[in-house]
């Protein structure tokens, strides 16, 4: 007798980070969501346009919105990564936990609900002690955390910069996107 279980197939979540950081970013995310491309966004709650992003999202239940934890931003200058700004030191566990919980409460105030997922600005949650705190909060809320959930893979290959911050426009062309989508394995993948 043949196996009656159908193949999983592929499911892609197209996520846009930095929602709320600026009017221009909001506009790009909104346009892509309304065109049917972006299905999910990650909200930066402490930035000037967070209120506008949240107001848009409240009227669009089809747009999944997660918390984009912001602990700082780094830029590459003269071959060295330098802080552009710092919210908290990424090695101080107590202050990290307090700040993430503060941002979670701000998210709840803005949207009136919990986030659909957790991730972080410049992927800072991929390193300890931030990772452990984000995973703990995600587990408590029952939501996935980027690159920490077994059920959802993350693909960050459709991005217009190298890891060194250099422009890479060929990485975001139509042909590149098609190649990425064709190579995705069965299951759910977040395309960032």
How many H helices and E strands in the chain? 5, 8
Range of the domain at 81: 10-165
Question: What is the tens place of the pLDDT at every residue in 77-118?
Answer: 888 888 888 999 889 999 999 999 999 999 999 999 999 999
pLDDT at 5 over 60: no
Domain count, the chain: 1
Could you tell me the CATH number of the domain that includes residue 92? 3.20.20.370
Q: Are 40 and 68 in contact (CB under 8 A)?
A: no
**Cα-flanking dihedrals φ and ψ of residue 190, to 5°?**
-90, 120
Judge whether 26 lies within some domain: yes
Question: What is the tens place of the pLDDT at every residue in 137-171?
Answer: 999 999 988 888 778 888 777 777 777 777 778 87
Judge whether 98 lies within some domain: yes
135: number of CA atoms within 13 Å, CB side? Answer: 12
Judge whether 175 lies within some domain: no
Its pTM stands at: 0.86
Q: Give the C-alpha distances (Å, rounded to integers) separating 40 from 17, 80, 83, 135, 172.
A: 9, 32, 28, 19, 18
Higher pLDDT, 28 or 7: 28
Measured distance CA(53)–CA(10) in Å, rounded: 29
Judge whether 144 lies within some domain: yes
């Amino acid at each position: 007798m043949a196996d009656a279980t159908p193949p999983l197939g592929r499911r892609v979540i197209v996520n846009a980070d930095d929602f709320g950081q600026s009017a221009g970013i909001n506009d790009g995310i909104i346009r892509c969501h309304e065109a049917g491309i972006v299905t999910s966004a990650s909200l930066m709650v402490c930035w000037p346009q967070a209120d506008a992003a949240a107001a848009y999202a409240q009227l669009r239940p089809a747009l999944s919105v997660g918390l984009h934890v912001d602990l700082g931003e780094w830029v590459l200058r003269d071959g060295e990564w330098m802080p552009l700004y710092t919210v908290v030191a990424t090695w101080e566990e107590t202050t990290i936990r307090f700040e993430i919980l503060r941002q979670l409460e701000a998210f709840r105030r803005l949207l009136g609900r919990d986030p659909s997922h957790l991730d972080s600005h410049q992927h800072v949650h991929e390193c300890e002690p931030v990772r452990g705190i984000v995973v703990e909060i995600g587990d408590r809320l029952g939501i996935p955390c980027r690159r920490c959930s077994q059920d959802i893979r993350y693909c960050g290959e459709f991005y217009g910069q190298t890891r060194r911050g250099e422009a890479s426009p060929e990485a975001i062309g139509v042909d590149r996107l098609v190649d990425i989508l064709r190579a995705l394995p069965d299951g759910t993948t977040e395309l960032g």
